[in-house]
Chain A
Amino acid sequence: MLLGLYNYWVVIVLMMVGFYIVIAHGNLIKKVVGLSIFQTSVFIFYISMAKVDGGSAPILAEGIKQYSNPLPHVLILTAIVVGIATTALALALAVRIKEAYGSIEEEEIQKKDNQIC
């Protein structure tokens, strides 16, 4: 059982590293990096699901009998694009925040906000 699920467990560790970076680090760019790792690890998880032992890439060709499942591939292609869209928007926000607040560290931004109120 250990060997059969090992792959998935490693992926879960990766997901959690990404998740940790997002919530624990204060630098806005670092958070985006963490989000990226988190999302990419979910992709790896889905793709691991799709693999069939002894199968090959799902492109029909002569002589190949076993194919790996194409559906997760399609889903992940979409998810990758969604991921980059989110990253681009997050980075644009970070640039604007830097211009407006002079900093991209969560603590400093919150301090500046509290000073105004």
Chain B
Amino acid sequence: MAFLVGVAFAIVRMKDLLAVIMLLGIYSLLSASFFVAMDAADVAFTEAAVGAGISTLLMLVTISMTGRSEHPVRHKPLLALAVVIITGSLLIYGTLDMPYFGSAEAPIHQHAAPRYINDSMQEIGVPNIVTSVLASYRAFDTFGEVVVIFTAGIGVLALLSVVRRREYTINDDSFNHSMHEQHLILRIVTKMMIPFILLFAFYVQFHGDFGPGGGFQAGVIFASAVFLYTMLFGTSTARQVINQSFIQLLAATGVLLYGSVGIVSLLIGKEFFDYSALSADPITGQHLGILLIELGVGITVASIMIIIFFNFVGRRNNLQHKENEGD
């Protein structure tokens, strides 16, 4: 915990954004390990993939476009400091009546949680309780979550997408060839690793019922395989493999798949997202429902991450082309 505080303070002082982003990545990783210590395996997995992985990557691409250092603030931030101190004190004041850390008597362990822990095996039949809460009891929240990530992807598209011109593709190809000689080892190793990464992604996707994992983590891992490929082989090659409009359709399909499971339940006459409507045996229905929605999640997350990445990199390439033309 002390490490986290140290890292946080270091971030405040540093002006070099590259260092700041690296420190943020470390902060994420430390948080993830803290989560493991707190028995939150799924959360640690997701935080490591998303916070330390995707977040760091996007920030690095951004500062490659916006500049590496921060200008010092000229005036003394006394008002900010005052606000922060008041807020912090209020929070500390609030904790004084809270149940102690780790206490098993706390209200939250008495009220809703016991049913999840004790009954979920009979009601849903899945060992990973987090998955049964996420994908069944509170499936609607997770649907909202998928929609949130979809929204962000559309937003990034709306902000950053550029129409690629033919000359750019030709320039990129010659750039790729020169890269080929320089990074031969990396390219060969990557080509060998990508299938394993993709396989791991599929494993995480389908094993989420039994161990930590599930749609989100799987989607992010799948996307990172694509990122690796793109970084080493160039965006134009990657775009040939993964077409822009196709990936947008894929993202939409993921959300629609998730929602359709709910609509099928409606059509059969039960509530939205009531999986017991999906099959004669309610437990099978639960399994089927969870499988389908996790698939929807995985598809959407993977596609949106790829869309976001491609748009950031595409914008950067566009900028570089403009600069080259200007010279």
Contacts and interface: CB of A to CB of B under 8 A. Distances in A.
- Touch test A–B (CB under 8 Å): yes
B128 A59 contact: yes
Given A17-B8, A44-B34, A88 B152 contact: yes
A47 B144 contact: no
B95 A81 contact: no
Task: Please classify the interface of chain B as helix (H, G, I), strand (E, B), loop, or mixed, using the class held by over half of its residues.
Answer: helix
Given A60-B128, A71-B108, A94-B66, 7 more contacts: A8-B101, A16-B88, A23-B83, A47-B43, A68-B38, A80-B50, A88-B58
Given A47-B38, A50-B38, A73 B43 contact: yes
Contacts of A112: none
Interface size class of B (residues with CB under 8 A): 35 or more
B261 interface: no
B263 interface: no
B261 to A, nearest CB: 18
Contacts of B63: 29
A102 to B, nearest CB: 10
A54 B212 CA distance: 20
B42 A52 contact: no
Interface in B289-327: 301, 308, 311-312, 315, 319
Interface size class of A (residues with CB under 8 A): 35 or more
A52 B156 CA distance: 40
B130 A74 contact: yes
B67 interface: yes
A26 to B, nearest CB: 5
Interface in A83-105: 83-89, 91-96, 98-99, 104-105
A8 B70 contact: no
Contacts of B141: 74-75, 78
Contacts of A20: 12, 77, 80-81, 84
Contact of A58 (B50, B66, B130): B130
B47 A43 contact: yes
A50 B99 CA distance: 11
A9 B4 CA distance: 13
Interface string A23-59: 1111111101110110010011001111111111111
